[in-house]
Amino acid sequence: MIKITFPDGTSKEYERGISIEQIAGDISSSLKKQSVAGYVNGDLYDLNRPIEEDASVEIITRKDQKAFEVLNHSAAHLMAQAVKRLYPDAKFGVGPAIREGFYYDIDTKEPIREEDLLKIENMMRRIVKEQQSMERKELSREEALAFFNDDPYKTELITDLPEDEIITVYSQNEFTDLCRGGHIGNTKNIKFFKLLSIAGAYWRGDSSRNQLQRIYGTAWFTQEDLEKHLEILAERKERDHRKLGKELRIFELSNDAGQGLALWLPNGYTVRKILEDYVYKLEKKAGYLHVSTPVLGTKRLYEISGHWDHYRENMFPVMERDGETFVLRPMSCPHHMIVYKSDLRSYRDLPIRYAEIVTQHRYEASGALSGLERVRAMTLTDAHLFVRKDQIKKEVLDAYNLILQAIDDLGLEIEYVELALRDKAKGKFHDNDELWDLAEKLMKELLDEEGIEYTAMTGEAAFYGPKIDIQVRTAMGHVITMSTVQLDFLLPERFDLTYIGQDGEKHRPVVIHRGLISTWERLMSILLEQYKGAFPTWLAPTQIRVIPVSLDNHDKYAKKINDLFIDYDLRSELDMREEKLGYKIRAAQTEKIPYQIVVGDDEVNNETVTYRKYGEKEQVTVPTKEFIHMIQEEIINKSK
Ligand code: TSB
Ligand code: ZN
């Protein structure tokens, strides 16, 4: 017998080898039904794992936060088993529980398509009916390596485990998986689930390694909860920028034009143009100088910068002509280095802040492309700042604060700030330890001094230096990098940049790379999802739609006010189509135009406008000038 002590201090004797499920059942049948797993002396135990010694036990029930994770982690195993039955050559990467469900990274010869998910789901249901117990077993390192010897992914995971780690595997009948555990005991306990989507994912998130297929799913304890979640997902889909971008005529993606090479349609271009003007003004006020450089450069330029050695994977193949070799630039930094070198610089000239709206191309793996969020041709709100060492902190901070302002003006919110550092073990970073240590130390100090909370991410730095990345969460739930400030001691060396110091000697400037509000492509994807396509007035492609009640009686006045709005730099349109009034009003509505103005007798007689704002019910009548004043104020205040 062993003694089990409960959180309230009471204890009871049980047979050695009793499980959480049995203990729960002993207490009450409803507790048994609610039980999902447990903590035994603080360790997470599967529902059916035998307890071998005296222990304090805490039963995890469906209500506990951990329960969702245990269920979804178990569901990942269930899915892997189903996949293995359908695709016997399948090899498995990792399959964790995540915030809203689970995924598993899978390598199969024959690609799994979206249509195949139902087939896999059906197989999962079959395994649920088979009531497979999820059995835990401890293996020695040698045994584990032998068992998984035909699976390179699992072999790598085992090899990377710390020496003293107890290696465990879980079996459900014919299927065995390497796993630390925390399971729901039996496949019969996984009842309400759905497979959702499939996407490409690099092994260990490293783009230089194999791409696996990541299948996402979600599992819940009741049908009702599952349905509720699916509803949220459906709502989210409504916000999907790919759908909204099409409906609102913002952009087009076509395989004939090329994957990840987005075409901006008139509405999209208008928004982009407004944003470009906005960025220009913002940067002007902050002392930036604007330049323009080509999308193409010599391969040599990128050899000097180090991109050729460290970033080639992300570049399109070279172009050769008459003995010259060109590359399509993936970044503009080398060009800006040359701009800096175009003149002699003294310490008094610094900082110099060159800004450019940079069109650049990156070879992103086709599986990684996602609407406008990740593309191959992109235009970045870029800048490179050339500063003295004593100016680094102030300039990084000013750049950071300018980013905060822009994000605020756009009505967006930061999810968190990431400090991306180098991983010494990886070859993709330049190898001057001294420069790395200095740059990373400075960035940490600066964030700490300013009280900016951040998450450090090893291995995510740029090849030339550490980055402060500002992350946002899209309405679709992805966390992506919006803005970035990067500290670079390398490129000034490589391009032999100098300035004459107060001492009359040559000194090296430091470069700060800054991405203000990402690329137009990524920003548009974020904005579309954030606003469900209903842009705030300052960004809306069309701000006002003027609709005469009658084409015969109200056309002149309608045209007069429309012209007036345009004279006041408002993006106003007149709807003179031979359509019914109701149709036109609905059209303005589906196009999500902020202001809809209907012109009838009263308006003509009183020189007023009657407007309805998008999303609001009531109509408001005001003198025309007052309307113009109001909308101008709103535009100046941006998204507030
Ligand atoms: C800031 N040289 C620096 C620049 O000076 C640079 O290019 N940094 S970057 O590689 O981090 O990219 C800048 C920003 O571009 C990222 O923060 C991200 O917001 C955006 N971006 C990167 N790749 C893509 C892509 N494939 N599609 C859309 N936007 C992208
Ligand atoms: Zn750069």
DSSP string, 254-309: -TTT-TT--EE-HHHHHHHHHHHHHHHHHHHHTT-EE----SEEEHHHHHHHSHHH
C-alpha 557/C-alpha 564 separation (Å) is: 10
**pLDDT for residue 325 is more than 70:** yes
Name the residue with the closest Cα to ligand 1, atom 14.
518
Largest CA distance in the chain: 96
Ligand 1 atom closest to residue 332's alpha carbon, by position in its atom list? 2
**Predicted local confidence at residue 428, as pLDDT:** 84
What is the best residue among 457, 467, 481 to mutate for testing ligand 1's pocket, by most ligand atoms within 8 Å of CB?
481
To the question of domain 544-636 being in CATH 3.40.640.10, the answer is no
Q: Is 481 in the pocket of ligand 1 (CB under 6 A)?
A: yes
Closest to 550 in 3D by CA, of 599, 589, 584: 599
State percent of the chain over pLDDT 90. 88
C-alpha 163/C-alpha 158 separation (Å) is: 10
pTM: 0.77
Q: Mean per-residue pLDDT for 28-46?
A: 93
Q: Is 359 in the pocket of ligand 1 (CB under 6 A)?
A: no
**pLDDT for residue 487 is more than 80:** yes
| Packed helices 266-285 and 392-409: angle between N→C axes, nearest 10 degrees | 140
**Predicted local confidence at residue 137, as pLDDT:** 92
Mean pLDDT of the chain: 94
Closest to 410 in 3D by CA, of 454, 452, 472: 472
pLDDT digits (tens, 9 = 90+) for 339-376: 999 999 999 999 999 999 999 999 998 878 989 999 99
CATH code at 253-530: 3.30.930.10
Q: Residues lining ligand 2 (ion), CB within 5 A? A: 333, 513
Taking the domains of the chain in order of start, what are their residue ranges?
Answer: 2-61, 66-226, 253-530, 544-636
**Predicted local confidence at residue 640, as pLDDT:** 66
What is the best residue among 307, 519, 526, 527 to mutate for testing ligand 1's pocket, by most ligand atoms within 8 Å of CB?
519
State percent of the chain over pLDDT 70. 100
Closest to 190 in 3D by CA, of 91, 94, 26, 62: 62
Name the residue with the closest Cα to ligand 1, atom 12.
515
| 292: exposed, middle or buried (Cβ count in 10 Å: 0-12, 13-18, 19+) | exposed
Q: How far is the CA of 277 from the centre of ligand 2 (A)?
A: 21
CATH code at 66-226: 3.30.980.10
**pLDDT for residue 175 is more than 80:** yes
Closest to 631 in 3D by CA, of 516, 546, 505, 512: 546
Rounded to 5 degrees, what are φ and ψ at 616? Answer: -110, 155
Q: How far is the CA of 334 from the centre of ligand 2 (A)?
A: 8
**Predicted local confidence at residue 180, as pLDDT:** 86
Name the residue with the closest Cα to ligand 1, atom 25.
374
Q: How far is the CA of 488 from the centre of ligand 1 (A)?
A: 15
Ligand 1 atom closest to residue 369's alpha carbon, by position in its atom list? 26
Q: Mean per-residue pLDDT for 614-640?
A: 93
Residue 612 pairs in a beta bridge with: 596
C-alpha 600/C-alpha 84 separation (Å) is: 68
Q: Which CATH code of 3.40.50.300, 1.10.940.10, 3.40.47.10, 3.10.20.30 fits the domain covering 2-61? A: 3.10.20.30
| 1: exposed, middle or buried (Cβ count in 10 Å: 0-12, 13-18, 19+) | exposed
Q: Left, alpha or beta for 459 (phi > 0: left; psi -120 to 50: alpha)?
A: left
Q: Mean per-residue pLDDT for 57-61?
A: 95
Q: Left, alpha or beta for 595 (phi > 0: left; psi -120 to 50: alpha)?
A: beta
Ligand 1 atom closest to residue 482's alpha carbon, by position in its atom list? 19
Ligand 1 atom closest to residue 514's alpha carbon, by position in its atom list? 1
C-alpha 300/C-alpha 324 separation (Å) is: 10
**Predicted local confidence at residue 368, as pLDDT:** 86
pLDDT digits (tens, 9 = 90+) for 81-103: 999 999 999 999 999 999 999 99
CB 534 within 8 A of CB 270: no
Q: How many CB atoms lie within 10 A of CB 602?
A: 11
Count CA atoms within 13 Å of residue 314 on its CB side: 23
**Predicted local confidence at residue 42, as pLDDT:** 92
Q: How far is the CA of 410 from the centre of ligand 1 (A)?
A: 19
Buried/exposed 317-352: b ≥16 CB within 10 Å, e otherwise: eeeeeeeeebbbbbbbbbbbbebbeeeebeeeebbb
Residue 202 pairs in a beta bridge with: 211
Q: Mean per-residue pLDDT for 294-322?
A: 96
Q: Which long-range contacts (CB under 8 A, 24 or more apart) does 171-175 make?
A: 171/134, 171/135, 171/137, 172/77, 172/78, 172/81, 172/127, 172/132, 172/133, 172/134, 172/135, 173/81, 173/130, 173/132, 174/81, 175/77, 175/80, 175/81, 175/84
C-alpha 516/C-alpha 518 separation (Å) is: 6
Buried/exposed 486-500: b ≥16 CB within 10 Å, e otherwise: bbbbbbbebbebbbe
